[in-house]
Every structure is written in structure tokens, then in C-alpha cells.
Amino acid sequence: MKVSSYVAGHWHQASDDGVQVFNAINGDLVGCVSTTGIDFQAVLNHGRLVGGPVLRKMTFHERGNMLKNLAKYLLERKAEFYRVSAFTGATKLDSWIDIEGGVQTLFTYSGLVRREFANETFALEGKSEPLSKNGSFVGRHLLVPKEGVAVHINAFNFPCWGMLEKIAPSLAAGMPVVVKPATASGYLTEVMVKTMIESGLLPEGALQLISGSVGNLLDLLDEQDVVTFTGSASTGQHLRSHPNIIAKSIPFTMEADSLNYSILGEAAVPGTAEFDLFIKGVVTEMTVKAGQKCTAIRRALVPASQMDAVGDALTARLAKITLGDPALDGVRMGPLVGRDQLADVWSQVHTLMQSAGVVCGGREDFALHSGDRDKGAFFPATVLRCDEPFKTDLPHQVEAFGPVTTMMPYADLDEAIALAKLGGGSLVGSIVTADSQEATKMVLGTACWHGRLLVLNDECAQESTGHGSPLPTLVHGGPGRAGGGEELGGIRAVKHYMQRTAVQGSPTMLTDITKEFHPGAKQVKTDVHPFRKYFEDLQIGETLITHRRTVTEADIVNFGCLSGDHFYAHFDEQAAKDSLFGKRVAHGYFVISAAAGMFVEPSPGPVLANYGLENLRFIEPVGIGDTIQVRLTCKQKIYKDKRPDDFAPTGVVEWDVEVYNQHNETVALYSIMTLVERRQD
């Protein structure tokens, strides 16, 4: 078998002299990997000139639907992915995390971009910023897709999830991708990419695959390209310092393996739920993917008085973990990805043993349930114990990327925090305690050194996703040794592949450019009430000025009786006079209720429902005898896809609402969203 690349619109087979990759269980040859003969300039041109223009013409909602349909397509064909995943030594659980966890990222980003962004090819960020005294000059931040390619260089441990977590925000942003998986397990990535290409759901040029070396690709990148890397810190630092990347300021996001910690709180003594959760968490992170996770727990920080108890508990639980061929019943942990990785882990463990003793594992005569000991890549779950962690750098600098963790004692919380920091920056730390004061001190003491912190106790354990599970909506990354970058993080990740530009001009000009109303822009007035218009017929800036209404004492009394709000400022003449208001005032919610009565068109029409209210601010009090009026302006229109069970095809219209008094002073500002019927689907 030859592991192929998909470049410039066709499949390119590896040459016969490529790098050989083997089955992690029995050592059988899986195939050879090579990029000999690939024109990497043609690869970049294909993404920039073929895939990029098509993606950039699509709206966020169209890209989101593309991701959703792709995710469904992959799930329908997941059986083949599971079959090939077994060659990497993955158990069924390992494969589920990699395959279905990765596909879930596509679903997540599909929903995020359709919910958070307007149905446009660009995005707006923040509010309109006034830049002049009279309001004729304003600014706004605009985001557009970069016009290059996103090159994703992935690690061997998650050949599916590692790819999908990166391409989801890239494609959602409108940027084509070039995926370069690690050679050792890239054959699984190839199988999934073949399925994605066969689906026809992605525009040509949106996705390319490089199986093997990237050749001179990094030399050919330009200022509009982006590079992301997941893997070892040393490799990432080498790539990040590439002369072309530095010279052209090409964004480089690095997510590196790190010496993540888990702290057992002082209150979590044996017999408590938290003690058991700590033991379970450490063992899980040691054995899932055979410890080959960038988020795995490498350092277990334990109160000095509990070291023996923790060591015994870990040994007992690990004794139940059966090592062997994951295809067979009863096997709980599979091999490492290959023999090269096996040799590397043994080397790192022997280095760690210079400052640590062995609690369990760490011997080459380990029990093996099934699989080939000599040709496979099996490694025993190993717990080390370093009793003087402040006198050696080894456990804080050396990582054995397998089922290995090192226990270290701490005397008090200050020492625990100091030990956590010695890792030099990590992707994730976990704190297992039921004591909130203890947790607070450790969170605030270690947060600046970690990208994510899990505070685990019995209350959240049942639904917790665990120490080692990055989530699409939260940041995945970390400072220092962890790479200093951020992946995922919800919409933050999408914006990484877009250029943020401050656009300045008149309110009317920016309204026309951004398709969102800016205060001070020219307003459109028609003879037809805007609530009588279908979604397509409404214009941005279309404005309704309502009739006036004078607020009476009866209004305040009636609203108070109806709402039950008898706050003194509304009913106590003397107390109100002595207050900051200086007089009795109307309820703020009466003001916006009255405003609704002034701008709503009551008869049935295209406006189907109020969709929500945002950013409400009460600016000035409204007293008895004050006269209010409302300015309602169409601020933004968001097209919605019609679902099968929807009443009608619709869109969401955001209205800018300003309530002002007889002195033309603004008394209330807010936005409302209405669900408005479209004429056609």
C-alpha cells in the first residue's frame, strides 16, 4: 500500500522508496509514505487561486452548513475509519475520541458561525466607535478571510481529530487548508480525506493533503498564509524560527506537548470522593491513547502525607488495565504508535529514573495479554516517584510521551503552586478538591502558566469531560513550553484565519459597507410601517419616528400595580425628592413597554415574533409630565435557513431603538430582534 497525497486536484502516490510505516500491534507493513515529485508551489497556488476565491464568496452560514453536511457524511462512513484506526494501536475508546470527537468539532463550528455571525462573507467586531465631536467620522472593526492558505502540521496521536479541529475554524473563516499529518499515523488521515473529497461537499482546492515531508513548502509561503503546528516543543520551535516565516511575519500557532499537572488537594484524603477521582483521572490520562496525548498528566502533585496512599491506589488501579491487542475483548490499553516511539519513551523513562524511583511498571518483562512483544510497540503503564522535586529539573523538563507519570510531594499549597509552575507552561492542569478556598488559591496561583484548568470535585464529576479533553468552545493551548498559541476557543479560532481591519469613514458610508446601521448615518423613511414589510423589502437604516406620549402619575401607579414593583422612587414623593432623581420617576421597564406600544404595528403581518432584547441602557430618568418619543431603525438583517418544521422562511432583523424626551435627550437605548417572514425560500 502507498499512502497518497491529494494535491492540486489529484491523488499523488508515494514513491517506492518512501518511509515505511507499520502496524503498531504486530509490526506488519501498512504502507510507504513519500512526497517525491510534488510541486509545492502548485499546491499553494491551487489553494490560493482555486479554493480560496470560492470559499470567500460563500457566507458564514453557507460555510457552516457545508461543515454540518460534511460531518454527517463522515459519521455515516465511520466504520472504515475505526477499522484503520486499529492499526495505530487505538482501542475503541481511543478511536471514538479521535474519529467521532473530531467530527463533533465540525458540528460545533457549524453551529457557532451560524449563531454568532451574520449571513455575510465578512464579520464585524465590537461597536461603532465615534471618532469626532459631531459624529460625522466613525470607526468599526471589520474581519475578512485571509487570501492565502492555512497549513496545518499535525501530531501522530490524533490523525483524525488533530486535522478536523484545525480545518473546522479555517474553512468556517473562508480559508483553504493544506493538511500535513504525522507520517506514523497519516494513513488514517488519508482514509478520512479520501472520504471528504469523494463527498463533493467541499469546493475544489479547499482541502489538500500532504502525506510525508513538506519539502520546500515553508520557503514558498507568503504574508497571507497561516501555519499551525501540533507536536513536540523542539520541532515546533524549529519550524517557528524558519527564516521565511520570520521575514514575512507569517502567523504561526504552536500547540506543543507539555508537562501537565494534576494536584490532589490537601482536603482530598483517602476515603473521600475527590481522592478516588484523582486516582481515576491520573490512570485515565495514562492509559487513553496509551498516554500519547498532549494533555496527559505527566506530573501528579500530592500532599507529602498521601504519597504512599496515592502510589498504592495507582498501582492497584493500573493492575486492572490489560495491555494488548485492542481488537480483543478485555484489552484496556493498546501499544504506542510505533517502534520508534517505543524506543523514545524507554529512553525518556530511563532519564527520569535518574531522579525518581519506580512505583509500578518501568520494566521490560511486563505482562502482555496479546499482540507481538518483539514487533509491536507495547509499553507498560509506569508510575515514577520523585521525592525531592525541588532538587532536580528532570521531571519538570523531560517528557516520556506514553503511559508514564511522575508523583511528587508538596508540603503546603504554596509548594504545590511552585511545582506546577516548574513545568514551564502547560496546556492543562487539574485541581481535585472539594475545598473552594483551596481551589481558589491554586487556580489564581497557576492560571498564568496554563491554557486551561479543570477544578474537579464530586459535584461536577459525573458530567465533567475530564482533564485531557480539549473542547471546541474553549481555548486549547498554553504559554511557554506549551507553545504560546491558542487553538479552538470557539469564535476566537475562526478569527485567527481572518484579518482584522479598522475601517474609518462617515456613518452613512460605513453603514453601506458593513450592511449594519451606524448611529448618525442617513436614515430612510417610507410611508409603509416597517413591521408591514417582508424581510427582503426592509432597508438598512429604514427608520420610524413614532407619535409622542406624555407620562402621567396614573401610568406609574398602574404599572406598579401590574408588575408589583413599588420601589420608593416611583411611589414615595418625599424619598424620591431626597434621592439622586430629585422627583418621582417612571419605571424603566414601563418606558420600554410604552415604547413598544408606540412603535409596534398591531395587525398581523410579516413580523412574526420578538426574538430578544439586548444592550438595554437607561440613560436619563423619566418623570411625571415628561413626553417620550421613539426612533426605531433597521440596524441589521440576518438571513436564516429554513428548517423543515419552520412556520415559514424567515430572517432576523435587529432594530436600534432610541427613546428620547421633549428636550431631545436620550432616556433609553437598546436593540430588539424580530423574526420576520421572507417572501420566498
* Residues tagged active-site: 255, 294
Crossing angle between the packed helical segments 60-76 and 92-116, to the nearest 10 degrees: 160
What's the rounded Cα separation, in Å, for the pair 154 and 230? 5
Spatial CA neighbour of 425 closest among 549, 306, 254, 561: 254
HSE-up (13 A, CA, CB side) for residue 281: 35
What's the rounded Cα separation, in Å, for the pair 196 and 72? 11
* Contact status, residue 159 vs residue 81, Cβ threshold 8 Å: no
Measured in Å, how far apart are the chain's first and last C-alpha atoms?
48
Q: Enter the C-alpha cell of residue 193.
A: 480525506
β partners of residue 180 = 153
* Contact status, residue 129 vs residue 139, Cβ threshold 8 Å: yes
Q: Please give the single-letter amino acid code of residue 112.
A: L
DSSP element (H, E) containing 431: strand 426-432
* Contact status, residue 551 vs residue 623, Cβ threshold 8 Å: yes
The 8-class DSSP code of residue 13 comes to: P
* Contact status, residue 142 vs residue 123, Cβ threshold 8 Å: yes
Strand, coil or helix: what is 207?
Answer: strand
Question: E-assigned strands of 292-362?
Answer: 297-303, 357-360
Q: Which residues contact 367 (CB under 8 A, 6 or more apart)?
A: 323, 380
Return the C-alpha torsion angle 534, 536, 540, 544, nearest 10.
-20
Strand, coil or helix: what is 413?
Answer: helix
Pairing of the two strands 297-303 and 404-410? parallel
Q: Enter the C-alpha cell of residue 106.
A: 465540525
The 8-class DSSP code of residue 291 comes to: G
What's the rounded Cα separation, in Å, for the pair 246 and 227? 12
Q: Residue-wise over 403-436: b if at least 16 C-beta within 10 A, else e? A: bbbbbbbbeebebbbbbbbbbbbbbbbbbbbbbe
Question: Rg (Cα) of the chain, in Å, rounded?
Answer: 30
- The full DSSP string for 34-100 is --TT--HHHHHHHIIIIIHHHHHHS-HHHHHHHHHHHHHHHHHTHHHHHHHHGGGT--HHHHHHHHH
Spatial CA neighbour of 33 closest among 157, 189, 162: 189
Spatial CA neighbour of 534 closest among 633, 671, 680: 680
Distance set, CA 231 to CA 21, 257, 481, 497 (Å):
18, 6, 11, 20
Alpha helices in 202-302 (DSSP H): 233-240, 243-247, 273-287
